Amino acid sequence: MSIVELIRLAKANNDFGVLSAGIPYMKTLNIEVHEADGILTVELRADRIHTGNPWLPALHGGVIGGLLETAAIVQLAHDQDTDNLPKPINVTVDYLRSGRIATTWARAQVTKQGRRVANVQASCWQEDPDKPIASLFGHFLLG
Amino acid sequence: MPCRGSYDPPSPPRPRPRCGHHPGSGMTDHALMQQILAFRSQPENQSPHGNFLGLEIIDIDRGKGVVRIPYRAELAGNATTGVLHGGVITTVLDAACGISVICALEQRATIATLDLRIDYLKPATPGQPVTAAGHCYKVTRNICFVRALAYHLDPEDPIANCTATFMITSPQTGAARVARVSS
């Protein structure tokens, strides 16, 4: 099934968990999508392959960036009217705290959605949503 | 301890390159770079996520580092097109920036990414490895400033451009740590 068909299916059944079938990176890194009241939460399941610094140990900055970007993309796929995946134009990731090798959650909010470009903010946390380990803002070209 | 990304190997102790080209100081820049390269190229001294992606250090120099990851379809952000996910590009750029910072510092230090801004200039071509070249162009007592470019073969035709700042998180910081960085 193509990504366009998957997004249509996700919207029809309000089940955005199916998107990982069209986004191989999500499966490979063990990232899942959960939906509640129109808000998607993305879950990164703890795995040693996410380790950046093995001596702390801590999550790799690239994994954190990838998780935040995934949260932004699936939320936009959910919000937008078109049925293709949005593409990142630019992203800025601020690293706020050291991430442990533990389940990490991320959520994105579309700040402004234009016809072609959307501005999105996202943050991720481990135990307490009020203590984010990193945040992202970026522009995405709508699908 | 902020965020991730320390690159502080516990062993072997890294010789202190006090004055790179000065006679009698022990190691030259070249010898030091070779040692860092040999040490960091061993899988047990790379980050597990880097190993997972097959990340390789291609080249290093004072304040500079080049890394590469092979293409893998299971890292795509879109199964239909096969284009690599932005997270993979983020990882390779972050790694290039981090190694550039290590190669810019006079002494061993623990570092952490403060922020990373990436412009995605064009989609990565499916099937091709991605190279990232970083340059730490300014070192201060606490903060290092870095830029990096991701590309396939030609840096003139880049996939993504990145600017980043890193913090030196080791307890002992100060002017002694500040290196002259080649421009």
Average pLDDT, chain B: 82
In the predicted model, what is the mean pLDDT of chain A?
A: 94
In whole angstroms, how far apart are CA B2 and each of A45, B112, B139?
A: 21, 6, 18
pLDDT tens for A116-143 read 999 999 999 999 999 999 999 999 999 8
Written as six digits, the tokens of A101 are 């090798």
Tokens 């810019």 locate to B104
Rounded distance between C-alpha atoms, residue A104 and residue B42, angstroms: 29
Q: Give me the percent of chain B exceeding a pLDDT of 90.
A: 62
What is the C-alpha separation between B162 and B95, in angstroms, rounded?
12
The CATH classification number of B29-177 equals 3.10.129.10
For chain B, what are the domain ranges? Answer: 29-177
> What pLDDT does residue A32 have?
96
Segments in chain B forming alpha helices (H): 29-41, 48-53, 86-102
| A98 to chain B: closest CA residue | B3
Set of chain A residues whose Cβ sits within 8 Å of the Cβ of B67: none
Residue B183 has pLDDT above 70, yes or no: no
- Of B94, B119, B123, nearest to A61 by CB-CB distance is B94
Task: Look at A25 and B88 and tell me if their CB atoms are within 8 Å.
Answer: yes
Please name the residue of chain A whose CA is at the shortest distance from the CA of residue B52: A49
Task: Name the more confident of A1 and B158.
Answer: B158
Length of chain A in terms of residues written = 143
pLDDT for the residue B37: 79
Prediction ipTM score: 0.95
Coil/strand/helix, residue B157: coil
Distance CA A33, CA A11 (A): 13
At A51-81, the pLDDT tens digits run 998 888 999 999 999 999 999 999 999 998 8
pLDDT attached to residue B171 = 58
How do A134-141 and A87-95 pair as beta strands? antiparallel
The two tokens of residue B104 are: 């810019």
Least confident of A92-96, B36-40, B56-60, B165-169: B36-40
User: Exposed/middle/buried for B157, CB within 10 Å: 0-12, 13-18, 19+?
Assistant: exposed
Q: What is the pLDDT of residue B4?
A: 46
Task: Please tell me the pTM assigned to this model.
Answer: 0.87
d(CA B109, CA A30): 32
Can you list the domains of chain A with their CATH numbers?
3-141 (3.10.129.10)
Q: Which of A17-26, A87-96, B23-32 has the lowest mean pLDDT?
A: B23-32
φ and ψ at residue B151, rounded to 5 degrees: -155, 170
Give the Cα separation of A36 and A52 in Å (integer). Answer: 31
Q: Which of A18, A64, A73 to mutate to test the interface with B (most CBs of B within 10 A)?
A: A64
Residue B179 has pLDDT above 70, yes or no: no
| Residue pLDDT, tens place only, B78-126 | 999 999 999 999 999 999 999 999 999 878 788 999 999 999 999 999 9
